Amino acid sequence: MKKKLIIAIDGPSGAGKSTLSKALARQLDYLNIDTGAMYRSVALLAQQWGINPHDDAALKKLCTGLSINFVYNDGLGKVLANGVDVSEQIRTPDISLLTAQVAASPSVRDAMLRMQREMGTGGGVVLEGRDIGTVVFPYADIKFFLSATAEARGQRRYAELLSQGVAIDLQQTIADVAARDAADTARTLAPLMQADDAVLVDSTQLSIDEVLKKMLAVVKDKETELAAKRE
Ligand code: DC
């Protein structure tokens, strides 16, 4: 029987992590864990509870006994926080902003780290985030660092927002992407960073299918390598 792997996908926002980790998990019949959605859920609850995002003690309380689950219905993935479907509410621009603040809290990071390790330790998972290959699973079987230029990522985000009927400015969107990168990279705790042993995939000039093909080839090589070791 094939070993069920732990696959980490890290990288900046807009590089295609969500689409690719979902596609990879589907192909491999693995569980997809969107760790950004977990931080977003904490931010949403903090907003609902009226917690100051810099109040680490209050955030710690919020995280005590918190449950976050990923469920799949008719092929659609949903995020449940304390049993409530928050999939849509966590995607608003103000929750994105609040999440960046909440994600800097040591208590929140500690709670998310424990949950993510609990969910992923058995293998058969694709986890996407910023610190999976460096902090959460430094011994992941495969680590990908998915990137693209800030310009390309900004353009994708711009096209996505336009298709949703949101009127925005392209240059402003590129500047927002660059500002988010700077915040994620400059953070003291678990900053966005490529692990030394991560496979770098630059998606600037590639389609989703081309990136997925590259990733699947890496997974296949790893499975062959592990099978040969077991023989
Ligand atoms: O991937 P995303 O845009 O949904 O992430 C939302 C925020 O959470 C973003 O500011 C980065 C942060 N995050 C993090 O600090 N660590 C992770 N493992 C995942 C996301």
Domain annotation covers residue 140: yes
Q: What is the band of 92 on the pLDDT scale with cuts at 50, 70, 90?
A: confident
Residue pointed to by tokens 């062959």: 224
Q: Which amino acid is at 161?
A: L
| Structural domain includes residue 99 | yes
Note whether 127 and 6 are within 8 A (CB). yes
What pTM was estimated for this model as a whole? 0.93
Residue 171 lies in a domain: yes
Ligand 1 centroid to residue 227 C-alpha, Å: 34
| Residue range 96-138, pLDDT digits in tens | 889 989 999 999 999 999 999 999 999 999 999 999 999 999 9
pLDDT of residue 157 exceeding 90, the answer is no
Question: Does residue 228 form part of some domain?
Answer: no
pLDDT tens digits along 11-60: 998 899 999 999 999 999 999 999 999 999 999 999 999 999 999 999 99
3-state secondary structure of 5: coil
Residue written as token pair 């902090």: 135
- Classify residue 231: in a domain, yes or no: no
The rounded distance, in Å, linking the Cα atoms of 171 and 194 is: 27
Classified as helix, coil or strand, 65 is coil
CB of 14 closer than 6 angstroms to any ligand 1 atom? no
Distance CA 25, CA 163 (A): 26
The CB of 103 under 6 Å from ligand 1? The reply is yes
User: Is residue 39 domain-resident?
Assistant: yes
CB 137 near ligand 1, within 6 Å: no
pLDDT at 166: 80
Helices (H), the chain: 17-28, 35-49, 56-63, 93-102, 106-120, 150-163, 170-186, 208-230
What CATH number does the domain containing 44 carry? 3.40.50.300
Which tokens hold the place of 83?
């049993």
Residue 177 burial by Cβ neighbours in a 10 Å radius (0-12, 13-18, 19+): buried
- Please write down the long-range contacts of 64-68, taking CB distance under 8 Å and 24 or more positions apart: 64/111, 66/42, 66/111, 68/37, 68/38, 68/41, 68/115
In a domain? residue 68? yes
The reply to whether ligand 1 has any atom less than 6 angstroms from the CB of 13 is: yes
Let me know if residue 223 belongs to a domain: no
Mutation pick for ligand 1 pocket among 9, 10, 35, 87 (CB with most ligand atoms within 8 Å): 35
Q: Which of 38, 39, 144, 147 to mutate to test the pocket of ligand 1 (most atoms within 8 A of CB)?
A: 39
Number of domains in the chain: 1
Which domain does 35 fall in, by range? 6-217
Q: In what order do the strands lie in the sheet with 31-34?
A: 31-34, 125-129, 6-10, 142-147, 199-202
